[in-house]
Amino acid sequence: MSENDNVVPPPAPPVAAPPPIGGTQSSDERMWALFGHLSAFTAFISGIGCLAGPLIIWLIKRDTMPFAGEQAKEALNFNISVALAFVALWILTIITFGLGIFLTFPAGCLLFLGWVVFTIIAAINANNGVDYRYPLTLRLVK
């Protein structure tokens, strides 16, 4: 046996913990951001709920929780854009004396499906602390 047979290799350096998902938001802030997006589903209870829910959360949390306020504002802008698109489809149906419904009904169904899907995607991202921006959104509320 030689002298090197009893030598123990040095221990491996400690592995650093993985960085947190998203930013440095607290769990409360991420929860309120999640509520900011999911509050749009109150439209099933009251049609105006898709605007009122994100608006209320934005007004309450924009000063105390910047991430939650920003996400609620993003949800509000998206829901305003979707509401304007639904109104435009409804007006198109009226000015074509109902014949436009063959175009506007399928378009409205696709718009509704996109609204649900993008709201769920935004809620999941907000819960993970990721700053989500909706596509094709008019940024009316600054």
The per-residue pLDDT for range 121-142, each reduced to its tens digit, is: 999 999 999 999 999 888 888 8
Question: Is the pLDDT confidence value at 4 over 80?
Answer: no
Give 13's DSSP letter: P
CA distance 140 to 76: 9
DSSP code of residue 46: -
Alpha carbon distance 36, 55 (integer Å) = 8
Question: Mean pLDDT throughout 14-29?
Answer: 66
Of 7-11, 17-21, 110-114, the poorest mean pLDDT is in 17-21
Q: Lowest mean pLDDT: which of 8-12, 31-35, 123-127?
A: 8-12
**73-131 pLDDT tens trace:** 999 999 999 999 999 999 999 999 889 889 999 999 999 999 999 999 999 999 999 99
Place of tokens 């749009």: 40
**Rounded mean pLDDT of 4-19?**
64
| HSE-up (13 A, CA, CB side) for residue 142 | 0
The pLDDT of 9-25, averaged and rounded, is 62
User: Residue 10: what pLDDT?
Assistant: 73
Residue 15 has pLDDT above 90, yes or no: no
Q: Tally helices (H) and strands (E) across the chain.
A: 4, 0
**Gyration radius of the chain's alpha carbons:** 24
- Per-residue pLDDT at 80: 94
Q: Span 60-83, mean pLDDT?
A: 93
Identify the CA nearest to 132 among candidates 19, 52, 23.
Answer: 23
